[in-house]
Amino acid sequence: MPDNVLLLNDKQTPITSERIKNASIVANAFNLPAKNGLLHVIDDDVRYSYNVYEGITTITDYLHLGKYLKSFEKQELDEERSVQSGLVDGQKVYSDSVMVLSNILYRTFGLINNEDSNYIALIPSKEIWEPVYQEALKYFNFGSENKADSIQNYWVNRLLMQDLFYNRNLQHLNDSIFSTSYSKYSNPEYHVYYKPLLPGGLLSSTYVRDSLESSNGVFYNLKAWPFQKEQIYFWPVKVEGESQFRILENTDCTLEYRSAGNADSISGQAYMRINPRTSSSNWTVTYEVPNTLSGTYDICAVCLPKTVYNTASRDFKPNKFTATLFYMDEQGEMQELAFEDAVSNNPYVVDTVKIGTFSFPVCNYAQTNVNVRLRLECSITRRETSYSRDTYLDCIYLKPSKEEEE
């Protein structure tokens, strides 16, 4: 087995008594003593190995991905390794400046420039990438937003690329594999792929055409796109009922935060009790809904039975409410849609109540100014005594709609 030696550029390269990587040792010119080490004479240049980041931003066939990464590069002065020669007008002057390359996306994709790591990079060809990119564009239509095209390009590239990189030092490949975007604290159900080596798996021959070694891992060249949009960007949008900072206004009610302990069926293990001001008050509560894409969603509210608070409760009257959606159109004007039909829940179970289906004309993903709101309004007349105004709201839930696929 060859040993690895550390080169001055921090890369590892294999060495034996016969060759250094691709270059052969000249006969009788191995381990020659020198004043400050050993000398090996070779018959060729040692072929340069790109790391994952360098390969994507340098190899011609990878530049449809690399142009995005490279656009965030900048050169920065390494003051510790530079030689200072004094001050001019109060500013440091260097006789020997050492510049280092930095990129704000290094950490976004898991330090793929790090020579000490061992990465797998999935590389779709341009022919595979282009239709996937074009499909994603329609979900990231930022309408009249300032610099909408730039924001769109940033998020489409970032989200499509977020599951292309895997650090082999952190996991075993046989059971499952998680990308460098995975976090056990935030959306842990995403960025994980099971049985990746079996047929149909992420790293199997179903998707991988061939491979190319890099100095800090391997490139897997893809022959098909392995992801569904619901896996990497077209996710459900959830607003917890108990998130008071998402509540814009409420009328004719008091709001009571309640913990649900470790109840797996209740999102966030908490909920909001909407308690009417009087026994006949029809309350309203308005939530802001962030991170919607310009796609089609089933708009839902998740209601809880009274037994989540008191297991002995026999109040099994359903709730009944209407909803109004406020959203931005492509011209930047706020619009509203009142869903015609009132909806009610099953008071015996955790019930996801579908309010309606809606296609948002513009995207509001990762924007500071949230321009989507949903107002719920209790809709019970005095004669409708079979309903309850006292409502336990788990969350607002926007689910990617099957109607869009059809």
Which pLDDT score is estimated for 104? 87
Q: Fill in the amino acid letter for 353.
A: V
Each residue's pLDDT tens digit, 221-270:
999 999 999 999 999 999 999 999 999 999 999 999 999 877 778 999 99
> What average pLDDT does this structure show over 350-363?
97
Which pLDDT score is estimated for 117? 84
Decide which of 23 and 288 is more confident: 288
* Range scoring the smallest mean pLDDT among 46-50, 68-72, 197-201, 368-372: 46-50
Each residue's pLDDT tens digit, 181-212:
999 888 889 999 999 999 999 999 999 999 99
Give the residue among 297, 155, 152 at the shortest CA–CA distance from 236: 297
Q: CA 362 to CA 332: how far, in whole Å?
A: 9
| Confidence band for 18, pLDDT divided at 50, 70 and 90 | confident
| Confidence band for 285, pLDDT divided at 50, 70 and 90 | very high
Q: CA 130 to CA 135: how far, in whole Å?
A: 9
Residue 97 has pLDDT above 70, yes or no: no
Q: Which residue intervals of 108-179 are DSSP H helices? A: 126-137, 148-161
Question: Are 274 and 244 a contacting pair, CB within 8 Å?
Answer: no
Mention the CATH class of domain 237-405: mainly beta
Helix, strand or coil, per DSSP, at residue 334: strand
Which pLDDT score is estimated for 82? 62
Helix, strand or coil, per DSSP, at residue 191: coil
Give the residue among 399, 393, 401 at the shortest CA–CA distance from 286: 393
> What average pLDDT does this structure show over 157-164?
97
Location of each CATH 2.60.120.260 domain in the chain: 237-405
Mean pLDDT of the chain: 90
Which pLDDT score is estimated for 103? 86
Each residue's pLDDT tens digit, 53-95:
999 999 999 999 999 999 998 877 666 666 676 666 667 766 6
- CA angle 180-183-187, nearest 5°? 120
Question: Are 355 and 342 a contacting pair, CB within 8 Å?
Answer: no
Location of each CATH 2.30.180 domain in the chain: 52-78+97-229
> How much of the chain exceeds pLDDT 90, in percent?
71
Domain 52-78+97-229, what architecture? Answer: Roll (2.30)
Which pLDDT score is estimated for 67? 96
> What average pLDDT does this structure show over 285-312?
96
Q: CA 37 to CA 149: how far, in whole Å?
A: 56
Q: CA 13 to CA 21: how far, in whole Å?
A: 6
Which pLDDT score is estimated for 326? 98
Residue 150 has pLDDT above 80, yes or no: yes
Residue 52 has pLDDT above 70, yes or no: yes
HSE-up of residue 343 (Cα within 13 Å, Cβ side)? 21
Which pLDDT score is estimated for 63? 97
Decide which of 29 and 151 is more confident: 151
Which pLDDT score is estimated for 252? 97
Full-model pTM: 0.87
Evaluate the CA torsion angle 275, 276, 278, 280 in order and state its sign: negative
Q: CA 171 to CA 191: how far, in whole Å?
A: 13
> What average pLDDT does this structure show over 28-35?
79
Residue 158 has pLDDT above 70, yes or no: yes
Report the b/e string of 91-113 with b at 16+ CB within 10 A.
Answer: eeeeeeeeeeeebebbebbbbbb
